[in-house]
Amino acid sequence: MRIFKFGGASVKDANGVRNVVNVLRITGFRDLGVVVSAMGKTTNALEEILARYQKNDNSYLKLIDKLYEQHNEIIVELEEVTDFINEDEVLRFRESGIKNILKGIIEALKGELLRNKTKNYSFLYDQVVSHGELISTKIVAAFLNACNIPVQWVDARELIKTDTKYRDAGVQWQETENTIKNISGSSFLTQGFIGSDDNGFTTTLGREGSDYTAAILAYCLDAESVTIWKDVPGVLNADPRVFQDTVLLEKIPYNEAIELAFYGASVIHPKTLQPLQRKSIPLHVKSFLNPKENGSTITHSNTLLPEIPCYIVRKNLIFLRVSSRDFSFIGEGNISEIFHELSEAKMQVGLLQNSAISFSICVEDKYSLINVLLSRLQERYDVSVVKNVALYTIRHYNGEKVSSIENEQQVLLKQRTQETLQVVVKQ
């Protein structure tokens, strides 16, 4: 069995959905599990609907209608005959009843909000936001079946069993393995991102969680591989929006992919890699525009191929230097105290370095808690703060390109280990 995952960008419009057919015709579709995210920016739109609902702003109903229109528009466009979708196929799609199915899901979404009594935001979030995936998978499955690609539509909430940590649910592996083994038929299509708890309520696995769904299914089905279809040729050695001359990484060891993600590369989330690594299931990242190209493979291998430096930049971080007031050494006690405060303020630490009397840290202030942190630290330490810094990380550093980073900008800190060079610069 192979598992494919198509993200929101790959099914953002009718052409995207048609292209899924194209990809499956090229790669074959026997013994295939297909995971699909919500179309385009639907999840963001659903978040906005919920935000307005929470503010008692009735315009949320208009946004739901807009969501309906957008999806209906895609269905209407899919009813057109194109170069590789013929009249019979279009007719079958029309006869699938997909327009009414869409209406039904939209009504269910409205009903969910109109009937709602709960004050538990995260719970409600999952009940609402999951509708994006329900709609997209119904449309894609109806279209594939019409195009002679037989896939069984499966409700992911019957497969992925989780705890009740809404918005960031944890998988109950044993139960999930048991339910997934019950899937019958050769190929199926299901939603990414969503699951259900013991009471049958919908849960979600965290934003961008569809990759993780693909990995969970692959793990439970002992799949031979997972392929994530993207709008880029694969995993590159740097973000092309920041660096020039990027190179495609053909083979990436699991550990290296986890390291790259740790330093801030938007590769694949470590949570997705862990189940795959445990069962040695390779993960392919390929372009849905060039499905015949190899793309990148994350797998058990010893070295990166090609073995070249990888550049990662994280921007808008804060650089802190915490010093003792009386020139006493910064010891284990102080460090543990500082870390306690960092963790209370939910800061993500990107880099740290200590000297005898000071401790330097580069943090990301995801929850806007920097002032809370500073006031706590300043009770006992002198703290200097530089906002808007960038942290460059170079894995497999070979001396190149760094000079350009350093020449252009003011360097606040540089740290080198055997594999990795990190430079903090003022933005």
Collapsed DSSP state (helix, strand, coil) of residue 224: coil
Measure the CA–CA gap between 89 and 78, rounded to whole angstroms: 10
8 counts as binding ligand ASP under rule CB under 6 A: yes
Q: How far apart are the first and last CA of the chain?
A: 47
HSE-CB of 79 using CA atoms within 13 angstroms? 13
Distant-in-sequence, close-in-space partners of 88: CB < 8 Å, separation ≥ 6? none
210 counts as binding ligand ASP under rule CB under 6 A: yes
Nearer to Mg ion, 140 or 373 (CB): 140
Q: Which of residues 26-55 bind ligand ASP (CB under 6 A)?
A: 37-38, 43
The correct pick among 13, 158, 208, 406 for binding ligand ASP (CB under 6 A) is 208
Nearer to ligand ASP, 231 or 382 (CB): 231
Total binding residues for ligand ASP by CB under 6 A? 12
16 counts as binding Mg ion under rule CB under 5 A: no
Measured in residues, the chain has a length of 427
Nearer to Mg ion, 43 or 96 (CB): 43
User: How near is the Cβ of 187 to Mg ion at its closest, in Å?
Assistant: 22
Q: Which of residues 178-197 bind ligand ASP (CB under 6 A)?
A: 192-193
Listing from the earlier edge strand, what are the strands of the sheet with 420-426? 348-354, 358-364, 310-323, 382-395, 420-426, 411-416
168 counts as binding ligand ASP under rule CB under 6 A: no
The correct pick among 10, 37, 162, 287 for binding Mg ion (CB under 5 A) is 37
User: How near is the Cβ of 132 to ligand ASP at its closest, in Å?
Assistant: 6
Nearer to ligand ASP, 300 or 366 (CB): 366
Collapsed DSSP state (helix, strand, coil) of residue 259: helix
207 touches, from ligand ASP, Mg ion, none (C-beta below 5 to 8 Å by class): ligand ASP
Measure the CA–CA gap between 131 and 265, rounded to whole angstroms: 29
User: How near is the Cβ of 105 to ligand ASP at its closest, in Å?
Assistant: 15
Q: Which stretch binds Mg ion (CB under 5 A): 29-37, 45-53, 163-171, 364-372?
A: 29-37
130 counts as binding ligand ASP under rule CB under 6 A: no
Pairing relationship of beta strands 358-364 and 348-354 according to DSSP bridges: antiparallel
Nearer to Mg ion, 42 or 297 (CB): 42
Residue pair 171/196 in contact (Cβ under 8 Å)? The answer is: no
- Listed in order, strand segments (DSSP E) in 267-324 are 283-287, 296-299, 310-323
137 counts as binding ligand ASP under rule CB under 6 A: no
Stretch 220-259: interaction string toward Mg ion, x if CB under 5 A? ----------------------------------------
DSSP symbols for 318-368 = EEEEEE-TTS----HHHHHHHHHHHHHTTPEEEEEEE-SSEEEEEEE-TTS
191 counts as binding Mg ion under rule CB under 5 A: no
Binding residues for ligand ASP, rule: CB under 6 A, are 7-8, 37-38, 43, 132, 192-193, 207-210
